[in-house]
Amino acid sequence: MRNISQNDKKRIIRVLEIYKKTGKTKTELEANSRKKLEYDYKVFITNLDREKLYEKINKRVDIMIGQGLIEETRNILNMYKEYPTAMQAIGYKETKEYLEEKITKGELIEKIKMETRRYAKRQLTWFKRIENATWINMEDKTEENIRKVMEVVEG
C-alpha cells in the first residue's frame, strides 16, 4: 500500500478487500497471474473490418439509448450516495454528465460512440501482442471460420 496515496479511499478499500478474501497482497496476486501457464490452450480472436466494427458500435449505442440507458443511469445515481466503480464504465459516466446538464443528448450519444470506438481500438492493439493467436475474420463464411478453428484445435 506504499504506492497508494492515503487519500485514495477507493484503492485502499480494494487492496484491503483483496487481502481479506485471499490472504495475499494485490502485488502477490498480480505476480502470480503473470507466471507462465502450464496449459495447452488456444486463443481465438474475432476481428471485423474497422469501418464495419465502428458501424456496429454506433448502432449498438443507439439501441442502448433507445432501451433506456439514461433512465437506468438515473436510477443507479438515485440508489447510491457514493458512485460504484461500475459507474465509470463507458456509457454510464457520459450519461451522468448528461444528467448533470454538462453535455447535450447529442453530445452524450457521440461521446459514448467515440469512447467505445477508442476502447475497441485499444483492445485490438492489446490482442495483437498475443503470440500464436488465431484471428477469425467475422466477414468470412461461417464454414471457413469453423474449418480454421478445427485445424488449430486438432493440431
Span 111-153, pLDDT tens digits: 999 999 999 999 999 999 999 999 999 999 999 999 999 999 9
Identity of the amino acid at 140: D
pTM of the entire structure?
0.73
Span 49-94, pLDDT tens digits: 999 999 999 999 999 999 999 999 999 999 987 777 778 899 999 9
Give CA–CA dist 70/67, Å, rounded: 9
Read off the C-alpha cell for 139.
466477414
Identity of the amino acid at 78: N
| Span 36-154 CATH architecture | Orthogonal Bundle (1.10)
Residue 69, burial from CB neighbour count under 10 angstroms (0-12, 13-18, 19+): buried
For CA atoms 120, 139, 51, 114, the dihedral sign is negative
DSSP string, 49-65: -HHHHHHHHHHHHHHHH
Q: What is the structure's pLDDT at 44?
A: 97
Q: Domain coordinates of the chain in residue numbers?
A: 1-35, 36-154
Cα 124 off chain centre by? 12
Strands (E), 1-60: 44-47
